[in-house]
Amino acid sequence: MLVLEPGKEHRGYRPTDADTEVYWIHFQYPPTSKPMLVEKNNWQQPLLNRTDQDTEAHPGMVDVPKFTAIDLRIIRPLLKEMIKVHSVLSAYRSYELQTLFGRFLMELQNGMRKSSPQARSLFLGEKVASYLADHLELPFDSIQMESDLHYHFDYLARCLKQYSGMSPLQYRHHLQIERAKQLLVHSELPLIEIGEQCGFRDNNYFTRLFKRQTSFTPGEYRKRYQFIVMD
C-alpha cells in the first residue's frame, strides 16, 4: 500500500508487469491538524488522564505507514465490505463506513507494530500491563511475575517502561488508585475494605499514596465526588 500526499503530483516509474487490482481510499484530515511525517521508532502508550465525569472524547492517534506491505487476508475483506456499504450508502450507513475505515487504519497500525524492531517488547509490555491489572488484589511479587510470564523481571520492567512510560510498581499504583476512585464514588464500602480490594494491606499507606496522586484523602474524595441516589 502507498499513501499519496494531497496537493502533489504522483506517477509510477514503470508500468506494472502483472495484473493489478487497485483500491483507492480518499480521506481528509481535520483542518485544525496536519499529518506528521516522522520516522516511527517509539510505540509508547502513556495512559490518558480520565475520570468518571468525562463529557468529551479524549484525543486519539493512529499511525499510518507511508508505504508498507499488508496482509491481504485481513485487509481485502475490509475493503470489500467498505465497497459494499458505499454502493448503498445512506446517512445511517455513513457511520458504518467510517467504522470500517477505522478498523482498516487499526489493521495498518497493528501491522506496523508487528513488523517493528520493538514488536516483542511491545507485546510483553502489554502483557505485563494486563498481568498487573489482573493481580491488583494480591501483594506485588516480582518473583511470581517472572515465574508466570517466563521472563526476567528486569526485562519485563524495561518492556513496560517502553510501552507505558512507567515502572511495574508505578503502573500498579496507577491502577490501584483508579480502582479505588471507582469504589469510593460508586459504593458504600468502608475505606479500609476499599483499600484491601485495591491491594493495600496498610491503610495508612493507601491514604498517603491516594493523597499524593489525587491531592485528596480517600474520605475527602468520596465526599466530593460520590453519587448519591435518592429514593
Query: Mind listing the pLDDT tens digit for each residue in 3-38?
Result: 887 778 888 888 888 888 888 888 777 777 777 777
The answer to whether residue 34 is domain-embedded is no
Same-domain status, 91 and 10: yes
Alpha helices in the chain (DSSP H): 72-87, 91-115, 119-134, 142-149, 153-164, 168-186, 191-197, 203-214, 218-225
Convert the pLDDT of each residue in 203-227 to its tens digit: 999 999 999 999 999 999 999 888 6
Same-domain status, 11 and 79: yes
Convert the pLDDT of each residue in 97-152 to its tens digit: 999 999 998 888 888 777 776 778 888 998 999 999 999 988 899 999 999 999 99
* Last residue in a domain, options 86, 116, 146: 116
State which residues form the domain around 17.
Answer: 1-26+64-116
Q: What's the gap between Cα 218 and its chain centre?
A: 28
Position 26 scores a pLDDT of 86
> The whole model's pTM is what?
0.66
The answer to whether residue 134 is domain-embedded is yes
What residues form DSSP beta bridges with 2? Answer: 67
Give the total number of structural domains in the chain.
2
The answer to whether residue 48 is domain-embedded is no
